Structure 1
């Protein structure tokens, strides 16, 4: 019998990453294996996750907002952050979502668009996992077209008064602070209401954050709403550097980058678990892995996993050097998520009946990726973004 190799060893995937990046990923993988892996199936079935406990542990490791500079953040490369997302999503997409929303949405918004007071107040706490953040953009009737948001922010003297509702907000029921985007009465040069962002402590009067129940996907993630009923805020709550949709869209681009890397972890975990299971499962007096159809499935998954991992690496390198454009992020998310989801679906069949239980990860990963396919820009939106880049024609317009 030949030597058994892991999915990463066959193509030498790890060799394309720096020693420092590999070492950090190894430390995080060890912590996750020791603290989360054996419990994640139960968290998924129970529809919850110990967000505060995990946030503090991940904060001690320096994972939260790790790609940001200063204010208690580690200031790592984008690629190292991507590898962290890969390890987190190898456990569960819900865990990566917790970190992604914290660092790439809430913290990034404050870091990039906030005042010094806002940065100093919130970022050190959030980096340490002592405060959990969320990001309020999506609304009950407004998803892919954020310009259609209905949440309003009106001036009343020197204060702002916010009214509206946000939907599908990761972390909101357990959050300490939220970044919320709203339309103001100020008009741009096209006569449209200008969007502004606000940093709001969750205990502010008029704020409610009900939990969304009965999810079939991303169950090991706490998802809720944000309901704003005449929420009065001082002028200092507004993100001073964000004016228009460029603010929230820049945050989404940051989060999408983490997804590009993250889903490769789900694919790797599904493939490794399938290799291990088929090597020990005996059928017709021989291991399931000895059958040609099994090996065909494993080989196909290996090829797909290797391709998306190298694509993620390339996008990380762009981000760390010359910069990455929105259409490049769209290409990454479109391809990696769809491919990872198909890998997990195909491999689930190798587990037979056991594959539909929480004991083995491929089906859980596949179901989670149905949500990842939708959030931070739906699959179709990224297709249209790339179509516009290739043809010069905006298919979003009427």
Structure 2
């Protein structure tokens, strides 16, 4: 691993040990098989038990059974997963940051006790249903409705790009109260014998160019009945959804760093061994200039991520800060992966060399959690006090 500014060398020993544990599993278990899953667009169910053994599901979520990692520890875990594969990173991010994070932040004590321990063990898989077919960047306008009917809520609507939703055990669904228009979160549970309640259905989205080994289906909610006890009491407006997203956007920055690190290291090794015109291409000026530029981006992202963790630990992290980090890291990591693919030439097109997978996975990261255009408007509003959103 290239640690040019000794960022990793200065990590606390416990964080280095966690990094090494995750990296060992990624190198030994994920990398040898992930290309086959990715190529077939199949979810790697066989890897879930090994991920569970790491004991990191839930990341920074506070609650029964959760590992309660520090922001730095969680970031390093995300980075190391992404150095291996983006689909695995998304699966764990949905489980830990979105589904478990929402329940931990917005649920009551009974709900945390009911769901979090089994989710932390990955015995229970979670999903987070916010995005809709007609509402991505403007998800604040969500149209899925929740109507109270005695001791139940009845959900109607549609969701799109919902990771894990096809095989999840619990799905956090965001919906608008049909009576007062307020946004809330409802946990739809799958019964071990009968599956999800009537009216809940999914259809897998196919043909993706990136993150092909994670399943992100469309979800239809047609009169789905949810017990009143499954409404999360802390979710009272879209602002509460934004609180969850501000945390996961920081995770997207760490993920971007992981993809960039992997692409850079692959390119460095490849150019040292690839000979053209009688010598290694690493000795050519243009190649060295490209490698130096890639390294500069990786080091910048490393330093930024560590600073982000410090601010989160001190409680000084804000939504606009998260937007700026996501905007910057997604842009720069995308370019680093593109530079790596270019340095590998035709071989960069082959997934066996991993760079093509990191590059197309970064296309997904660049889009989800809000595109760079949306993030820039969030930052612009914070800077100027003027909203560019209509």
Q: Fold-level match, TM-score > 0.5?
A: yes
1:149 maps to what in 2? Answer: 142
Indicate yes or no: 2:173 matched with 1:185. Answer: no
Counterparts of 1:115 and 1:204, CA distance in 2 = 23
Counterparts of 2:267 and 2:227, CA distance in 1 = 54
Counterparts of 2:148 and 2:186, CA distance in 1 = 13
Counterparts of 2:32 and 2:82, CA distance in 1 = 14
**1:183-332 equivalence runs, <5 A:** 183-187=176-180, 193-202=181-190, 203-332=196-325
Q: Note if contact 2:63-2:113 (Cα within 8 Å) is conserved in structure 1.
A: no
State the shift of 1:115 in Å. Answer: 2.4
Counterparts of 1:341 and 1:379, CA distance in 2 = 12
TM-score by length of 2: 0.96
Divergent runs of 4+, >3 A: none
Indicate yes or no: 2:39 matched with 1:11. Answer: no
CA deviation map 1:279-305 (0-9, x unaligned): 111111211111111111111100011
Q: Note if contact 2:95-2:127 (Cα within 8 Å) is conserved in structure 1.
A: yes
CA deviation map 1:304-339 (0-9, x unaligned): 110011111111110011330001111110001110
2:38 maps to what in 1? Answer: 44
CA deviation map 1:15-63 (0-9, x unaligned): 3422211110111000111101111211211112214x33332222111
State the shift of 1:186 in Å. Answer: 3.6
Counterparts of 1:147 and 1:389, CA distance in 2 = 18
Counterparts of 1:244 and 1:109, CA distance in 2 = 13
2:29 maps to what in 1? Answer: 35
Q: Alignment partner for residue 171 of structure 1, among 143, 148, 164?
A: 164
1:360 maps to what in 2? Answer: 353
Q: Which runs of 5+ in 2 are unaligned?
A: 191-195
Q: Note if contact 1:55-1:130 (Cα within 8 Å) is conserved in structure 2.
A: no
Counterparts of 2:169 and 2:179, CA distance in 1 = 29
Indicate yes or no: 2:341 matched with 1:348. Answer: yes
Counterparts of 2:168 and 2:155, CA distance in 1 = 18
Q: Secondary structure of 1:153's match?
A: strand
Q: Note if contact 2:100-2:119 (Cα within 8 Å) is conserved in structure 1.
A: yes
- Bigger drift between 303-312 and 150-159 goes to 150-159
2:100 maps to what in 1? Answer: 107
1:73 maps to what in 2? Answer: 66
Counterparts of 2:386 and 2:234, CA distance in 1 = 31
How many aligned residue pairs are there? 385
Q: Secondary structure of 1:11's match?
A: coil
State the shift of 1:108 in Å. Answer: 0.8
1:91 maps to what in 2? Answer: 84
Counterparts of 1:54 and 1:247, CA distance in 2 = 32
State the shift of 1:148 in Å. Answer: 1.4
Counterparts of 2:260 and 2:53, CA distance in 1 = 27
CA deviation map 1:208-255 (0-9, x unaligned): 122111111211211112211111122111111210102211111121
Counterparts of 2:152 and 2:125, CA distance in 1 = 25
TM-score by length of 1: 0.94
Q: Secondary structure of 2:158's match?
A: strand
Counterparts of 2:154 and 2:63, CA distance in 1 = 31
Q: Which runs of 5+ in 1 are unaligned?
A: 1-5, 188-192
Counterparts of 1:42 and 1:123, CA distance in 2 = 32
Q: Alignment partner for residue 129 of structure 1, among 97, 119, 122?
A: 122
